Amino acid sequence: MGYAEQRFNVNLSILFTELPLVERPAAAAAAGFTAVELWWPWVDSPTPERSELDALKKAIEDAGVQLTGLNFYAGQLPGPDRGALSIPGEESEKFRANVDVAADFAQSLGCKALNALYGNRVEDVDPAEQDALALQNLSLAAHAADRIGAILLIEALNRRESPLYPLVSAPAAVGIVDKVNEATGLGNARFLMDLYHLSMNGEALPSLIERYAARTGHVQIADNPGRGAPGTGTLPLEDLLDQLGKAGYEGWVGLEYKPGDRPSAEAFEWLPREARAAR
């Protein structure tokens, strides 16, 4: 298969960040892409003003791109936070306040995938208490996703960059997927396979693909080392995506890498322009 047969979208929370938020969808379209994804853009607000939501929605629609993935509120990203839903108190309350806001925004743009970052371990809080809270909030998120015909994504990060995040392996994340599906009976929780994070954990990517491709709802890529564009590191990303395709994965591949010391528009030379538009 190779890159030409993939369906790529651009993560506008890590690429084109040199531009204001509402200018990024048009910039992605100008670079030849027809689909985008986003972390929750308002890091300090799970419930932004309607005018802010409407402005972003209009920017996406005017650019003619499709929103294919959206994170629920997860705190300060990029930054020290790694989610909110398992953190007792104010952060988990913010997550719950955000669930329907994010789902409704996704529905307004036809987005069918919502990502819920688990959250860091907190000092002096029993991990079992955090896990119980996480299951409650993930179940709430799964029901919100089901209401709009979407899937709920659960992601593993890497222990080097996120040492307090408990889901730092593919089996750990898939285990939570299973718990959520069992708790809700909806079956709409899926694994988000981020090849950069999994490689940073030292996991054998071909084996993970063979084992979990059928459980995967979304894929994200960046090269390693450096979290740059494909070709800047040593990961055989084209071969890995080819293996995913042969294993039956037909979903989106999110470009979630850093552009480096250059404008984001110049960070796509590895991908022919004719391969950027989703087919």
Give catalytic residue positions.
Answer: 155, 256
Element (H, E) at 198: helix 195-200
Cα distance from N-terminal residue to C-terminal residue, the chain: 14
Cα dihedral value 21, 74, 31, 263, nearest 10:
70
Alpha-carbon gap, residue 111 to 175, rounded angstroms: 25
Sign of the dihedral through C-alpha 64, 40, 269, 202: negative
Contact 226, 188 (CB under 8 A): no
**Which token pair is 241?**
């995506």
Q: Is 179 exposed, middle or buried (0-12, 13-18, 19+ CB in 10 A)?
A: middle
